[in-house]
Structure 1
């Protein structure tokens, strides 16, 4: 897959994950857009690969945070009285 397609896919995935962001979707979208626009003129393929890898790491971290939030919520509901 070309880097351009991978970057677009990364952006869309991050936007989707940002829907549950605590400070709101608009805050997340503006910050994400700014980060991608800051690096829009990058031409070095190695540096772009590093940025894509970092973006994949961010996706994993966000998923982990959301799963932890879900776990804590369920734990509070079911083990409230103990």
Structure 2
């Protein structure tokens, strides 16, 4: 899988895997994502933080992440 630009940020293979997992199975912690994707927890945490900074993901609870579109369905306004 080639890295590509999305939301004005560079999306690499790990980012693609993170996004695919969350879009397929819903919100997740960085620990769960690291286990599923097979990368280290610190690396996945760094990638998730970066995706949040660019509003590709949102933290919906302490350490729990989702896409903004999915989060809208259950977060209070």
Higher percent of residues as strand? 2
Higher percent of residues as helix? 1
User: Whose relative contact order is higher, 1 or 2, with alpha carbons under 8 Å and at least 6 apart?
Assistant: 1
Common fold: TM-score over 0.5: no
Larger Rg: 1
Normalised by the length of structure 2, the TM-score is: 0.32
Normalised by the length of structure 1, the TM-score is: 0.30
